[in-house]
Amino acid sequence: MTVPGYRDEPAARWDPAAPADPGEAEDFLRQCYTENQRLGPVEPRLAIVRAQIAATGTYVHTTDELAYGAKLAWRNASRCIGRLYWRSLVVLDRRRARTADEIFSLLVNHLRTAGDGQIRPVISVFAAAQPGQPYARVWNEQLIRYAGYRGPDGCPKGDARQEQFTAAMRGYGWRGKGDQFDVLPLAIETPAEGVRLYELPERAIREVPLTHPEFSWFAELGLRWHAVPAISNMRLTIGGVHYPLAPFNGWYLGTEIGARNLADTDRYDMLPTVAARMGLDTSRESTLWRDRALVELNVAVLHSFEAAGIKMSDHHTESQRFLKHLSNEEKAGRPVPADWTWIVPPLSGGITPVFHRYYDEMDLRPAFYLDEPAAALAREGCPVRRTH
């Protein structure tokens, strides 16, 4: 996905009761004000922040600091191949929202802002966590995810990876349609209201039916995918301040849908079906039937998004752009953290330019971090109210 990846290392974990680290705050502010000379001298601002941390255990970012911090978190995301565009991130300051209804309305607005016309990279930053206080969050890993079911015959239907979360939502009263592409409700947790479930309106869900430029039978498979990949279960950390609810999106890399979401055996597992319709010999691996089916599945994804006029990148083009990003950052004298296993595409990796080099692993901040999985939260049995 051409949006920030995540790190889940011991150093990334945080204590919600701990105050903001003054040293991390100073490091961020000096970087922010050095890279944005229009903000003026940093020393007066540092004095204010030190006083705020001493008095309250935390401090409040200005609008400019929040916006640039979010962009830096994308620039520092070691698992994202699409960082060439980090300056273009649209930052929506939603820190005043408190109720679940307000948050849901703004999440719908996020999807519409990102998905109307050409896909735009957008982040909505909600209230920061206060030391020792409960905070708002979304249980879903993405704002739009398809449900996963297990039929009476034991066969999976829908997104197999979402079976546990789907079961939890059904346990809280959500039923869904039970089909292959059934959009899950949003589970929004706030300190005052607990967890509430919300159905996304159709206007917020832009989807693309998948067809193939050569195989007319492909449309009969009934495949489709949503246009906006908005990650919602990652914490944004800026200068020692944590934002547990900060959903963000870019646009899809074709292989994310064609080589992962629809192809992985623990997702939609479509390769055997595509291979059968292509008439491939699947009796042994050496026929490379998986590879041939995988290529055609990815051809269909790229073709369909282009036909629908929805922005998407292919892995060859994006690999070249990532090297451009590396060059830009090297000229600016900045290190570029990168995780090779995520930067190299899951299709034809060896013939992309990002394959033939090594990268440095660094935990640079500001950053995005993966926190407790939503499935674990669902298992805790928090009280849930169904709305909309």
Query: 108, 188 in Cβ contact below 8 A?
Result: no
User: Three-state DSSP class for 157?
Assistant: strand
d(CA 83, CA 215): 34
Query: 13, 129 in Cβ contact below 8 A?
Result: no
d(CA 347, CA 319): 12
d(CA 346, CA 239): 34
d(CA 131, CA 239): 14
Two structure tokens written together for 278:
């292509």
Confirm whether 251 is a catalytic residue: yes
User: Three-state DSSP class for 221?
Assistant: helix
Query: 354, 385 in Cβ contact below 8 A?
Result: no
Confirm whether 83 is a catalytic residue: yes
- How many CB atoms within 10 Å of residue 330? 11
User: Three-state DSSP class for 374?
Assistant: helix
Widest distance between CA atoms in the chain: 71
Query: 69, 93 in Cβ contact below 8 A?
Result: no
Confirm whether 256 is a catalytic residue: yes
β-partners of residue 90 are: 122
Catalytic residue selected from 75, 83, 120, 196? 83
d(CA 368, CA 244): 10
Q: Is the preceding peptide bond at 185 cis, omega within 30 degrees of 0?
A: no
Catalytic residue selected from 141, 256, 296, 318? 256
Active-site annotation, residues: 80, 83, 251, 256
